[in-house]
Amino acid sequence: METRRSTPNCSSWTPKSLISLRNYTRSDLAADATAGITVGLVALPLAMAFGISSGVTPQAGIYTAVIAGFLISALGGSRTQIGGPTGAFVVVIAAIIARYSLSGLLMVTMMAGVILLILGITGLGNAVKFIPRPVVIGFTNGIAVLIASTQIKDFLGISGPGVVPSEFLHRMVWIGNNIAAVSPGTILLALLSLTVVIGVARLTKRVPGSIVALIGATTAVALFDLPVETIGSRFGGIPTGFPDIAFPEFRVDLIFPLLPSAITVALLAAIESLLSAVVADSMSGDRHNSNVELVAQGVANIAVPLFGGIPVTGAIARTATNIRSGARTPVAGMIHAFTLLLVILIAAPLAQFIPLGTLSAVLLVVAYNMGEWREVPMILKLEMKDIAVWVITFLLTVFADLTIAVEVGMTLAALLYIYQVSRTTVVAPVTPEALEEARRHIVQNHSIPHYVSMFYIQGPLLFGAAEKLNDIPTDGLTNIVILRLRHTTAVDGTGLHAIERFYERLHASGRTLILCGARRQPKRIIYTSNLPRIMGARNILPNIGSALRRAEEIHERFGGVGEEAALTLAGAPV
């Protein structure tokens, strides 16, 4: 397959589709058409299955794939990304519908779209790259288990009373209480479908196993009138034609109650779309534009509710299929959307024969593949804190609520980041034993006089590492202390406060503190604070040489005692 490498300007907002069309050829069109039709056929059963599992109609899943698939390809920052409904949203969508009905889901989807737009326009979407791998794996493992649990009823053909509970434990209890009401015919058909999906995938990558299983099972149901539940028996089939456009009911009083769910949907969409784009880059040799991609995801999520659709993001499996089928440009993704549209316009009546057991088999395979279970042994080889984060995120996703899992997961991600950053920050004295090393890297061949104690900070002095400065004991220090900031990469408010407290402790014991060598960001923070007024601007110097000269001046002027001590002894205000 021909690959192309491009290096876009990160500040450019041009979609990849427009860039690709500048030198578009007939050869490109032929390759894109083949890939688009192939991935469109792969997306058909998935779109219906995601719609049904989310608690909406199968046509809602198809409409979503059509609208979002076209917009994400036309406006996105990846050449080969395929967008649409995915398994990541199934659980959160079902929970929103159960609590706020379909109108609440449509509001959440549009709110998530606005959040994604903001993330893309401001560049904040890149922050999702800082989410630790154990948190991401915990999400995907938990979501995979939840999706699989939602398919047990249709896979076994259980016809129990009432509605299947949305909570995992209650769902398992319901299945256990109604396990005697299984359908042998449904089980047999679902097992055969599962075997076909897995078997075809192992034999060839060019023919989608889900389509083979779908066509075979649908034909069998239509010809032999098998006693299994189908799309027709549950939903009355799929209507032919274009979907109606209607603006969702917007309730101001639901904005704040729905905001956590909207943030969850936006974060999941951002994580999965950018992860999918990275996978696409590695397979195609391209380089995506993250900000443009998030803007496209935002536009798509704002648009799909107008057609009764559900949240969307980049789909890793469909994107990989698109690339393996020969896709070269975003035109393939647009053709994939038109393929699904033609299915609605032409073959919709045949959808009534599609057995739900076959769709559940397809989703079980999707759940297994998206779970990234091969990553679990690697997680178990990490430190205990990483393993604990993975376990907590997984358990909260399965047994609590995905929104809670996202919130706790993001908090854990922030705490992990702070912990790792704090470990890289070093606050240490320049000791006689380390003087030779210090001369090369810290004091730059200057000699440290006997009346000076010197410390240096290497790394960022942020709120996770500020206590290291506070832990320095003042006992045993000379009357003049130099704190070198040459290798301090960043300082925040907590770090600045730690420097002030360090000065106050030295001042209280009659010692002088001199700061030197601050870089641009620490220097700006220091000079916009009260620190120059508190400790004196003359004691904040640009380099180690001027700091040592200042120390010599203090020593000669005040006879070997610190400046603060001398002033205090003389009765002058400090």
**pLDDT tens-digit readout, 251-265:** 888 999 999 999 989
Least trusted range by pLDDT, from 335-339, 372-376, 413-417, 526-530: 413-417
pLDDT at residue number 564: 59
Decide if 552 contacts 546 (C-beta within 8 A): no
pLDDT higher than 60, residue 58: yes
pLDDT of residue 422: 77
Section 561-573 average pLDDT:
50
User: Contact at 8 Å (CB) between 105 and 97?
Assistant: yes
**CA separation for the pair 497, 463 (Å, rounded):** 10
Residue 563 confidence class, pLDDT cut points 50, 70, 90 = low
- Work out the average pLDDT over 344-363: 90
More confident residue, 416 or 573: 416
DSSP 230: B
Gap between the Cα atoms of 142 and 476, Å rounded: 55
Q: Report the percentage of the chain scoring pLDDT > 70.
A: 92
User: Does 549 score more than 60 pLDDT?
Assistant: yes
**pLDDT > 80? residue 328:** yes
Rounded distance between C-alpha atoms, residue 333 and residue 327, angstroms: 8
* CA-based end-to-end distance of the chain: 75
pLDDT of residue 48: 92
User: H-type helices in 238-304, by residue range?
Assistant: 255-284, 290-303
**Distance of alpha carbon 572 from alpha carbon 568, whole angstroms:** 6
SS3 541: strand
pLDDT, residue 447, reads 77
Mean pLDDT of the chain: 86
In this structure, the strands spanning 313-314 and 426-429 are unpaired
Q: Is the pLDDT of residue 469 over 60?
A: yes
Report the b/e string of 337-366 with b at 16+ CB within 10 A: bbbbbebbeeebebbbbbbbbbbbbbbbbb
Go through the domains of the chain in sequence order and give each one's CATH number.
25-127+181-374 (no CATH), 426-569 (3.30.750.24)
- pLDDT for position 300: 97
**Residue 103 CB contacts under 8 Å (≥ 6 apart), including other chains:** 248, 249, 251
- Over 60: is that where the pLDDT of 270 sits? yes
Residue 437 has pLDDT above 80, yes or no: no
User: How would residue 2 be classed by pLDDT, with cut points 50, 70 and 90?
Assistant: very low
Rounded CA-CA distance 21/16 in Å is: 9
Give whole-number Cα distances, 378 to 133, 135, 372, 504, in Å: 10, 13, 11, 47
Residue 244: exposure state from Cβ atoms within 10 A (0-12, 13-18, ≥19) = exposed
pLDDT for 408 equals: 86
Nearest CA to 284 out of 314, 318, 328, 321 is that of: 328
For residues 76 and 292, the answer to whether their CB atoms sit within 8 Å is yes
3-state secondary structure 422-446: HHHCEEEECCHHHHHHHHHHCCCCC
pLDDT value of residue 135: 83
316 vs 468: CA distance, rounded Å? 44
Q: How many CA atoms lie within 13 A of 562 on its CB side?
A: 24
Long-range contacts at 381-388 (CB < 8 A, ≥ 24 apart)? 382/134, 385/416, 385/419, 386/132, 386/134, 386/416, 387/134
pLDDT bin (cut points 50, 70, 90) of residue 10 is very low
By 3-state DSSP, what share of the chain in percent is helix, strand and coil, each rounded to 5? 65, 5, 30
The C-alpha atoms of residue 404 and residue 408 are separated, in whole angstroms, by 6
At 120-163, the pLDDT tens digits run: 999 877 777 677 788 888 888 988 898 899 999 999 999 877 77
Would you say residue 570 has pLDDT above 50? Answer: no
Residue 3 has a pLDDT of 43
Q: Is 326 left (phi over 0), alpha (psi -120 to 50) or beta?
A: left
CA 209 to chain centre: 29
Q: How confident is the model at residue 445 (pLDDT cuts 50, 70, 90)?
A: low
Averaged over 208-221, what is the pLDDT?
92
* Per-residue confidence (pLDDT) for residue 143, from 0 to 100: 85
- Give dist(CA 46, CA 160) in Å, integer: 25
The mean per-residue pLDDT over the stretch 161-182 comes to 88
Q: Give the mean pLDDT of 508-537.
A: 91
- In eight-state DSSP terms, residue 484 is E
Quick one: pLDDT at residue 359? 93
> Mean of the pLDDT values across residues 162-166?
79
